[in-house]
A = this chain, B = another copy of it.
Amino acid sequence: MLDMFFRPRAIAIIGASAKPLTIGYRIMRNILDFGYGGPVYPVTPSTPEILGKASFKNVTEIPGPVDLAHIVIKNTMVPDTLRDCAKKGVKGVIVNTSGFSEIGAEGQKLEDELRRLGKELGLRIFGPNCQGVMNTDPGVRLYSNFTFARLKPGHISILAQGGGVAEVIDNYISELGIGVRMYASNGNACDVSIPEILAYWDEDPGTRVIVLHVESFRDPKAFLDAVSKIKKPILAMKSGTSEAGARAVASHTGLLMKDDTVTDLVFERCGILRFARAQDLCEAAIAFARASIPKGRRVGIVTNAGSPAILATDEGIAAGLELPDPSPETQEHLRKNLFATSSVHNPVDMMATAGPKEWGVSVEALLRDDRFDMVLISFITPFFVDCEGVAREMARLRGETQKPVLACVMTNTEWKGTLDILDNAGIPVYYFPESAARAAAALADYAALRNRAAGKVPAIEADRKAAAALLDTAAPAAAARDGWLSGAECERLLACYGIPLAKSIWVDSVESAVRSGIEIGFPVVLKAEAAGLVHKGEAGAVAVGIADESRLRTEAQRMLAAFAGKSPKLQLQEMLSGGVEVIAGAAAIPGLGHSVMFGLGGVFVEVMKDVRFALAPITDEDARRTICGIKGFKVLQGLRGRPVADVAALEGILLRLSALVSENPMIKELDLNPVIAFAEGQGAKVADVRMRV
């Protein structure tokens, strides 16, 4: 419960000031201007009164109870002030002051002390190095913040780690005249965390949608666990996508998994819709605050001007919306009731002269037509039309439907009356047709994200004891090889988890190689493993399609000679032919577990980077989506008359791989490359594996 921050009964501003250009003054003024109902106590030794409020030298001297203290004093003075606050019975403090972990080691020490003190004193801390909070609830009216947005009450709550972006979002939405519910920017977040605020807002009846901006996940696992339980829509941005962090990875999977991939995985698992641009995020939030969540992605567009509706159509289709034509009955109805030159397809184009009657007929008809999940109005306000009458019709229909209605109204303030009617009816209104189309697509995307089957993590039969023992035994030697396990160890681990492998025998002499070759049956593949050897193919350590004993003998001799002195081992493998080359893999995500990856093999993964990730442990549905989601999925569906690949077998491999890494967190990265997928019903086999612990 964060009521002490968002619904305090009284507030002290510690470090309040009478000088207008100080933060201590600005916060006082913001709180008073915004109409906060409870007592406001300035705390400062330097002036007896600020903005008509008597000030106190110390928070302990305040006569009545105080729930919240907003602290704006020097960083080194904060700890003592916390003690005073605790003495006074304050429940929460907002520490505006900077000079904590953001400035380095010394600041980190001070922040650690704050955290410790908070725990010890039973005092919740918001910040430090933060802006503060706002709450537009008419029963509260709290603006405990030094920013300048002119809030009106509404249903969008905004939480942003970075104060600057918080302000950009808040101010933009407010300047559009759209209401905001609550606002928080908690800076260094030494105590009150982002997931905690999200959970609090999930219970707030006034919040319909949450806008979130994060710069980093302090504890991704805690974020995931807490936020995946939240029921309200969260629309989010994560910035810093362009920063290429240097990481020590060597597998394809590790290299392909960017920081940004991890964000995607976390957001997807939490059911959070992600945006790349702040403006798109704000515009979508307006739709979520005002419209219901649609059943699907079929949108009907009604317009009085052709060309803007085409912009909405282009953008909508690009964003994944569908624009079916109205049903024959609807078309017939429209034909009867609109001007002869109107188009009754989708978009329905009524021409500029359409008045309230035509608009009402068209929008009502599309809302009633079960071919549409939502309706988008594209309206340029002609001076010769009763535009307010049109708006009243839209407002009436908005009140009668369960389907989302969005509007793009291309006009200016001369038509303020028209805009006000739509606004009061709670219709989300945009200026650009593309904005309305993207907002509609965001609603549909959210519906799809929330409605998709979660699936189950199936029980995997595995020899877990043997796998754990093998890893324990192998790890010390692997440490000397930068963590890489030997090929034989990798294969045994996969076998423990039932992952199908190409037949393989490890030997260390030419004669045993020949015997094993005969045992496996020609043609065979011969590979060498040796100390320091990484790229086998380029080092001449792979020979495929060996057809007979004599060729095998020659190759085995050559490889043993080439890697003499580097403890060479030879691997005899059955030659897998036919089938499609794919890659599967896994990589550890610090603080979060592992990702599981799938893609087409060979040049596809190297050049096109056409892969998909999921967060382990994955469900059967995750496995299916990961495989079907790659751009090259067609290759597995039987191209140019080739057989359809055994996708079920690939799903099985991903699920087993997921169990292997989830249950053995010491595995850092892992490539099954290639895996050969045979025709449907004929399975798939791993042909090569690399694993680092």
Contact = CB atoms under 8 A, between A and B. Distances in A.
Contacts of A434: 277-279
Interface stretch (A55-63, A570-578, A635-643): A635-643
Identify which of A162, A164, A306, A309 gathers the most chain B CB atoms within 10 Å of its CB. Answer: A164
Interface in A378-406: 380-381, 383-384
A262 to B, nearest CB: 16
* A interface, size bucket: 35 or more
A104 to B, nearest CB: 10
Nearest to A282: B432
Interface in A590-618: 603-604, 606-608, 610
Given A148-B414, A412-B171, A632-B607, A242 B317 contact: yes
A336 interface: no
Interface stretch (A19-27, A132-140, A522-530): A19-27
A279 B165 CA distance: 21
Interface in A151-190: 160-168, 171-172, 175
A434 B242 CA distance: 13
Given A412-B148, A414-B148, A433-B278, A162 B640 contact: no
Interface in A287-345: 305-311, 313-318, 341
A537 interface: yes
Q: Which one of A163, A171, A278 has the highest number of Cβ atoms from chain B below 10 Å of its Cβ?
A: A278
Q: What number of copies of this chain does the assembly contain? A: 2
B213 A307 contact: yes
Contacts of A341: 103
Contact of A307 (B164, B279, B432, B639): B164
Interface in A26-57: 26
A208 to B, nearest CB: 23
B164 A432 contact: no
A23 B383 CA distance: 9
A474 B67 CA distance: 93
Nearest to A237: B311
Contacts of A384: 21-23, 26
B167 A435 contact: no
Interface in A223-275: 237, 239-242
Contacts of A309: 164
A634 interface: yes
Contact of A215 (B146, B171, B307): B307
Contacts of A563: none
Tell me the interface secondary structure of chain A in the complex.
Answer: helix
Contacts of A215: 307, 310
A640 B537 contact: yes
A631 B278 CA distance: 29
A164 B308 contact: yes
A506 interface: no
B313 A164 contact: no
Contacts of A166: 307
Given A635-B603, A640-B537, A308 B22 contact: no
B383 A21 contact: yes
B148 A383 contact: yes
A538 interface: yes
Nearest to A641: B538
A134 to B, nearest CB: 16
Contacts of A414: 148
Contacts of A608: 608, 610, 631-632
A352 B17 CA distance: 19
A456 interface: no
A411 B213 CA distance: 19
A309 B431 CA distance: 26
A471 interface: no
Contact of A313 (B103, B242, B435): B242
A150 interface: yes
Contacts of A316: 242
A175 B22 CA distance: 34
Interface of A: 21-23, 26, 103, 146, 148-150, 160-168, 171-172, 175, 213, 215, 237, 239-242, 276-279, 305-311, 313-318, 341, 380-381, 383-384, 410-412, 414, 431-435, 535, 537-538, 603-604, 606-608, 610, 631-632, 634-635, 639-641
7 contacts: A26-B383, A26-B384, A103-B341, A161-B307, A164-B306, A167-B410, A606-B639
Given A26-B383, A603-B604, A603-B632, 10 more contacts: A148-B411, A164-B309, A167-B380, A167-B410, A215-B310, A239-B307, A241-B318, A242-B316, A242-B317, A242-B318
